[in-house]
Structure 1
Amino acid sequence: MPRLDDDHTGARIKEQRKLARLTQRQLAHLLPYSYSLLNQVECGAKPANLDFLAAVAHALRIDVTVLTGQPYVTELQQDRLAELVRPIREALDLYDLGADDTIPDRPAEQLIASAEDLCAQVRATRLRNAARLLPATISELTTAAWRNPSTELWQALASTYRTAHDIAVKLGYYDLSSVALDRMDWAAQRASDPCLAAIRQYMRALVYFREGEYTIGQRLVTAGHAIVGAAEQTREAMAVTGQLHLGASVIAARADQQSAVDTHIAEARQCAKATGDASDVHWLSFGPTNVALHKMSAAVEMRQYDEALKQARKIRIPAGLATSRRAHFLIDRARSEMETGRTEAALGSLIDARHAAPEQTRYHPGARETITGLVHLSRRTPDTLGHMAAWIGL
């Protein structure tokens, strides 16, 4: 059976466990998982799923990226993406410096259109191009908003900060994503936009979801509901409300709260009936299809893999769905296929995800762990799987 090198996720868990002065049995006692699974993960015989990693990180009181090894510096450098991160970090630090006299005026409608285009590029998973254009757009919008403050310019600036968060998350720079969310809140307050403020709470909740802090995540979703609930109940507000319920559903699933999952999915479905396809609202991809995708994701998070595949077979992905959501669906399906012994189908789903969104798939922790799992399960690694493993840096 193929084995990975000593720098795999299980080896990092073992190292951090020892630093915490815990035996395997002591750590297993702190987890909602068995001693046997922990032992298999540490020795590299079984991959660590994202919920397992979150639970270990929470128990050891460390950042989950310490265990995943993100960011993937070598692959990022090969793809020439690492060099694009520093300019984004610098642009995020301009927020309180006022207007830059070296930046010429550009019509507000052009700047707003640039912010919208960046959102579209991220949803199409063109991360490299979006990351390249983002710093200049943030700089221009920051100066424009200080020179001629308006709701529309502050909203557009908040949108670029949200794009910075999205790119940072997809590349594994979670510290940078938190800074971007703080900036988004700063701009949303100046725009007096409750929907943007609620979306920011939703994104903060997902940060804690990744870290295994489900109670804090649920509180942030509740805070988001309070913000949007006090606003005028427009279609936009309804879509944001529905998306908050979808975020709450996967957090509840990770916390193994089936009844809460069912409640949030039902509430989101009601919102989707009222809004229809609301992909045009803040680039949330909200609508009936996204409700179905989150119901499947919740089943995956609760390790109900047969149920997740049953749901996956019923989902018909519309042509207009954001590429990022399509790729996420394929990665979820691949995990479920691997966990139910359908290894060839799992590899096929990952190949489809790579074709649809190569940059997103290469840096997605779920895709990497599933490929790792397939390597462990294969007595002889097929050429296609070998190529995929090499491509993600195993």
Structure 2
Amino acid sequence: MPAHTDGGVGRRIAYYRSVTRPKLTQQQLADAACVALGTIRKIERGERGVTDATLEAIADALGIDPGRLRTDRGAAHTRVHDALPALSAAIATYDVPEDGPVRPLQDLRTAVADAVQWRVAARYTRIVRDLPDLLTELTRAYHAAPDEDRAELAGLLVGAYRSADAVAYKFGARDLSARLVELMRWAAPEAADPTLTASVAYVRTETFFAARTHTAGLRALERALDTAPAPTAAPTIAARGALHMRAAVIAGRAHDTSAADHHLAEAHTLAGQVSEDVYCGTAFGPDSMRIHEVSVAVSLGDDHVGRALDVASEWKPPKNLPAERRSAFYIELARAQLWTGLADDAFESLKVARHIAPQHTREHPWVREDAATLRRLKRADSETLTHFAEWCAAT
């Protein structure tokens, strides 16, 4: 694996170690990352290089994306794209997995829970590193499992497929993403969990976004709502609320104001009945609803865009929300600001999104489009904006 030898990597490690809460000593960082103390000291002093594996271990220990420590802006992007064939290979044998070892069920639960956390934190390099082997192991476990374990393993497969799909969709591998969605739809009924089936319907909407068939996507979500479990407890309330939340956004893309308002109102009512959390892999609650209010306003466009600015003037996403969702708020806000002539504010919002979730921000098509527009407008410091546009490959 390549070694990063620029002294800036060590300086960034030392910086993030000093600003974590609680602050970490070099020894504590070494222990958390399973790296020798002497290695940490030499890296921070710029006396030795650091491999990708070690860098990712240190980033994990610091609780940040590895991209914040690297000097090569294109490294994470290239690594993810290079790893996509391994994901394709892993799912090609979903029904005929090769023989091999299988960890205990508890270990598989933990592995999938970790993958879910990487997804909501937009840790895509970590997903592509570990998910191919995990998917192969899960399918092997599912087909060999006794009847009493098959339902749970099917649910774990759905969670792992969804994490893999996040990478495929965000990085433009739409055929792979569609295949992963179909595998989720295959596995979900086996799990016999209606909330899981609802979450798969939520994810499936990606295929309608990608094809720009928004009216059909709205119809599919409304059918999913018809069969969703009654909202009697937090998980089922969140499952139904997330479907309404998603339906509001795709109705906005379809320019169906009436449907968007209806689903947004339903989602707001349900969000008021639960605390903000990640339910069945999807963040839902009052804060997520505010973010989707902005998304719906931007989707509807025209006279509705002002609502996005109104929300942002009163509220900002708290840090306990998943990084992917927080960065999406600022990406959507940047578009609203750009459309209303607030070019400088739009660039500031894009920079905030990048700080929160660099990989998610870099791969978002709106970021590229808006950065390219800002360059044409020349409304920000040219050098800073040029660096940003090069980073996200804006044309």
The TM-score normalised by the length of structure 2 is 0.76
- Following the alignment from structure 1 to structure 2, what is the Cα–Cα distance between the partners of residues 153 and 368? 39
- Following the alignment from structure 1 to structure 2, what is the Cα–Cα distance between the partners of residues 133 and 227? 34
The counterpart of 2:132, out of the listed 116, 131, 135, is 135
The answer on whether the counterparts of 1:131 and 1:167 sit within 8 Å (CA) in structure 2 is: yes
Corresponding residue for residue 378 of structure 1: 378
**209-218 vs 287-296, which deviates more?**
209-218
Residues 170 and 76 of structure 1: CA distance in aligned 2, closer, same or farther (over 3 Å) = farther
Residue 134 of structure 1 aligns with an amino acid whose one-letter code is L
What pairs with 1:304-383 in structure 2 (closer than 5 Å)? 304-378=304-378, 382-383=382-383
Residues 196 and 388 of structure 1: CA distance in aligned 2, closer, same or farther (over 3 Å) = same
Give the match's secondary structure for 2:111. helix
- Following the alignment from structure 2 to structure 1, what is the Cα–Cα distance between the partners of residues 77 and 262? 44
The answer on whether the counterparts of 1:199 and 1:224 sit within 8 Å (CA) in structure 2 is: no
Residues 380 and 267 of structure 1: CA distance in aligned 2, closer, same or farther (over 3 Å) = closer
Structure 2, unmatched stretches of 5+, are 1-72
The answer on whether the counterparts of 1:343 and 1:374 sit within 8 Å (CA) in structure 2 is: yes
Residue 111 of structure 2 aligns with an amino acid whose one-letter code is S
Superposed CA RMSD: 1.9
- Following the alignment from structure 2 to structure 1, what is the Cα–Cα distance between the partners of residues 247 and 78? 34
Corresponding residue for residue 289 of structure 2: 291
The answer on whether the counterparts of 1:205 and 1:216 sit within 8 Å (CA) in structure 2 is: no
Residues 306 and 232 of structure 1: CA distance in aligned 2, closer, same or farther (over 3 Å) = closer
Matched, 1:156 2:153: no
The counterpart of 1:119, out of the listed 116, 120, 133, is 116
- Following the alignment from structure 1 to structure 2, what is the Cα–Cα distance between the partners of residues 106 and 135? 15
Residues 93 and 352 of structure 1: CA distance in aligned 2, closer, same or farther (over 3 Å) = same
- Following the alignment from structure 1 to structure 2, what is the Cα–Cα distance between the partners of residues 365 and 105? 39
What pairs with 1:65-144 in structure 2 (closer than 5 Å)? 79-98=78-97, 100-101=98-99, 103-144=100-141
- Following the alignment from structure 1 to structure 2, what is the Cα–Cα distance between the partners of residues 366 and 359? 14
Cα displacement (A) at 1:191: 1.2
Cα displacement (A) at 1:379: 7.1
Matched, 1:186 2:201: no
Residues 216 and 123 of structure 1: CA distance in aligned 2, closer, same or farther (over 3 Å) = same
Give the match's secondary structure for 1:79. helix
Residue 180 of structure 1 aligns with an amino acid whose one-letter code is L
The answer on whether the counterparts of 1:76 and 1:82 sit within 8 Å (CA) in structure 2 is: no
Cα displacement (A) at 1:316: 3.2
**309-318 vs 182-191, which deviates more?**
309-318
The answer on whether the counterparts of 2:331 and 2:353 sit within 8 Å (CA) in structure 1 is: yes
- Following the alignment from structure 2 to structure 1, what is the Cα–Cα distance between the partners of residues 275 and 186? 31
Corresponding residue for residue 37 of structure 1: none
- Following the alignment from structure 1 to structure 2, what is the Cα–Cα distance between the partners of residues 232 and 363? 35
What pairs with 1:170-185 in structure 2 (closer than 5 Å)? 170-185=170-185
Structure 1, unmatched stretches of 5+, are 1-73
- Following the alignment from structure 1 to structure 2, what is the Cα–Cα distance between the partners of residues 232 and 246? 15
Q: Which has the higher contact order (CA 8 A, sep 6+)?
A: 1
Residues 76 and 221 of structure 1: CA distance in aligned 2, closer, same or farther (over 3 Å) = farther
What pairs with 1:32-47 in structure 2 (closer than 5 Å)? none
What pairs with 1:144-293 in structure 2 (closer than 5 Å)? 144-149=141-146, 150=149, 151-229=151-229, 233-277=232-276, 279-293=277-291
- Following the alignment from structure 1 to structure 2, what is the Cα–Cα distance between the partners of residues 365 and 193? 34
Cα displacement (A) at 1:308: 1.1
- Following the alignment from structure 2 to structure 1, what is the Cα–Cα distance between the partners of residues 299 and 264? 14
The answer on whether the counterparts of 2:343 and 2:379 sit within 8 Å (CA) in structure 1 is: no
Corresponding residue for residue 16 of structure 1: none
Give the match's secondary structure for 2:283. coil
**255-264 vs 346-355, which deviates more?**
255-264
The TM-score normalised by the length of structure 1 is 0.77
Residue 298 of structure 2 aligns with an amino acid whose one-letter code is V
Residues 78 and 316 of structure 1: CA distance in aligned 2, closer, same or farther (over 3 Å) = closer
Residues 213 and 270 of structure 1: CA distance in aligned 2, closer, same or farther (over 3 Å) = same
Q: Deviations over 1:123-182 (max 9, x none)?
A: 111100111100011011111111114222111011111111111111111111110011
Residues 386 and 305 of structure 1: CA distance in aligned 2, closer, same or farther (over 3 Å) = same
- Following the alignment from structure 1 to structure 2, what is the Cα–Cα distance between the partners of residues 314 and 254? 25
- Following the alignment from structure 2 to structure 1, what is the Cα–Cα distance between the partners of residues 231 and 260? 27
Q: Deviations over 1:219-248 (max 9, x none)?
A: 21022112323x684321211100100111
- Following the alignment from structure 2 to structure 1, what is the Cα–Cα distance between the partners of residues 319 and 379? 38
Cα displacement (A) at 1:215: 2.0
Q: Deviations over 1:21-62 (max 9, x none)?
A: xxxxxxxxxxxxxxxxxxxxxxxxxxxxxxxxxxxxxxxxxx
Cα displacement (A) at 1:77: 8.0
The answer on whether the counterparts of 1:112 and 1:152 sit within 8 Å (CA) in structure 2 is: no
- Following the alignment from structure 2 to structure 1, what is the Cα–Cα distance between the partners of residues 240 and 380? 48
Residue 162 of structure 1 aligns with an amino acid whose one-letter code is R
The answer on whether the counterparts of 2:215 and 2:251 sit within 8 Å (CA) in structure 1 is: no
Residue 227 of structure 1 aligns with an amino acid whose one-letter code is T
